[in-house]
Amino acid sequence: MLEKLFPWVSPVNSRSEAKRRLKLILAHDRAGLNPQMIELMRAEILEVVARYVEIDPEEMELSLESNERISCLMANVPIRRVKAKG
Amino acid sequence: MSRIIVVTSGKGGVGKTTITANLGYSLARNGRKVALVDADFGLRNLDLLMGLESRVVYTAIEAMAGECRLEQALVKDKRQHHLVLLPAAQHRNKEAIDPTQMKEVVGQIAKTYEYILIDSPAGIEIGFRNAITPAKEALIVSTPEVASVRDADRVIGLLEANGIEKIRLIVNRIKPDMVQMNEMMGVDDVLDVLSIPLVGIVPDDKRMIVASNRGEPVVCGLPDSIPAIAFDNIARRLEGEKVPLLDLMAAQDNLINRIRRLFQG
């Protein structure tokens, strides 16, 4: 009700949405990576990490960020436990 | 040493030609010898915005082919005698010239003129490559819209890859009332996303259309208007002067907007 009367009260304004979407797409544009390649990379990284430690594939996060025109690949892989040697 | 600056954007319709015309005029009025080069072969418009369309006899094509002398192809502005325009050919397409020829003709002009502003076509194909090859500096034009900012980012990458290091941004067509309402990205947002130095901001203004109707850059026809001051400021910054940014938001600081902002928290 209040938001209809005063649309500018809406917490998600289109200005911040524009910026958020741009930052995401530009990180991908700059790195020259499409979502399929990211997915492939994710699967391969997961495979390598899984050889050494026990992980939950569902919990892994892989994202591209871009700051000051430098793209950065961020992988967040929570480890359940280190595998026993041999 | 003359300054060779390409005005480019990636996306079309964001104001490259208008900005080229106004900056050229402003620099010439400050006593600089300025040549504007229209690199938009097949879709030339710089002559029209300058009001020089009826004076075009030869174009860059004839000058490059040796069918006329370069001086014959340079159209003199009717108001500023330090300002000339090298028109693009209208009945040829972008493949009519290549980057080497473009570099050669701009090099010729650089012997006489202090500033050469190259108006780039939209896109990133051959016409764009023709426009950027002779340039030592670039002005990127972007409006605060997602499509324009994304294309600008792509072009910045291409310019960097082509060894153009001095790349600066002009944010065009800002609507302060929409920024105030968080319905449009502000200059700071665009800067944060693109991460290149800012050389100026230009507000959206109806008078720009009137100026184009008349073939008279706004810095010439309406020198006291806000967009004209914005262009003059950019020209002065190109000259190395430190000029503070226009406060476009000042006019938005009225009672109603203050109350609205209270609601926004």
Look at A3-7, B74-78, B156-160 and tell me which has the smallest mean pLDDT.
A3-7
CA A41/CA A43 separation, integer angstroms? 5
Which among B153, B181, B185 is the nearest to A18, CB-wise?
B185
Annotate B175-227 with DSSP letters as a single string. Answer: -HHHHHTTSS--HHHHHHHH-S-EEEEEE--THHHHHHHHT--HHHH-TTSHH
Q: Is the pLDDT of residue B68 over 90?
A: yes
Helix (H, G, I), strand (E, B) or coil at B143: coil
**Separation in Å, CA B146 to CA B158, B184, B243:** 19, 10, 28
Q: Which of A6, A15, A64 to mutate to test the interface with B (most CBs of B within 10 A)?
A: A15
Phi, psi of B118 (to 5 degrees): -105, 120
* pLDDT value of position B44: 95
Q: Decide which of B184 and A2 is more confident.
A: B184
Which residues 6+ apart lie within 8 Å of B60 measured at CB? B37, B38, B41, B73, B86, B87, B88, B89, B97, B105
Chain A, nearest residue to B260 by Cα: A8
Q: CB B183 to CB A14 under 8 A?
A: yes
Which residues 6+ apart lie within 8 Å of A30 measured at CB? A66, A69, A71, B153, B157
Decide if B15 contacts B203 (C-beta within 8 A).
no
Most confidently predicted of A30-34, A77-81, B217-221: B217-221
If phi over 0 gives left and psi between -120 and 50 gives alpha, with beta otherwise, what is residue B65? alpha
Question: What digits encode the pLDDT tens for the residues B196-241?
Answer: 999 999 999 999 999 999 999 999 999 999 999 999 999 999 999 9
Phi, psi of B72 (to 5 degrees): -70, -30
Residues constituting chain A: 86
Unique residue bearing structure tokens 């130095």: B197
Chain B contacts of A9, Cβ < 8 Å? 263-264
Q: CB A68 to CB B192 under 8 A?
A: no
Chain A contacts of B181, Cβ < 8 Å? 8, 13
CA B114/CA B48 separation, integer angstroms? 23
Please state the rounded mean pLDDT for residues B187-203.
96
Question: What digits encode the pLDDT tens for the residues B87-101?
Answer: 999 988 888 899 999
* pLDDT value of position A8: 53
Residue B152: which of B178, B171, B129 has the closest Cα? B171
Please state the rounded mean pLDDT for residues B17-37.
98
Decide if B191 contacts B169 (C-beta within 8 A).
yes
Domains observed in chain B: 3-264 (3.40.50.300)
Please state the rounded mean pLDDT for residues B13-21.
98
Q: Is the pLDDT of residue A7 over 80?
A: no
Size of interface A-B (CB pairs under 8 A): 53
**Separation in Å, CA B142 to CA B7, B115, B187:** 11, 22, 10
Could you tell me how many helices (H) and strands (E) chain B has, helices first?
13, 8
Decide if A25 contacts A49 (C-beta within 8 A).
no
Q: CB B185 to CB A23 under 8 A?
A: no
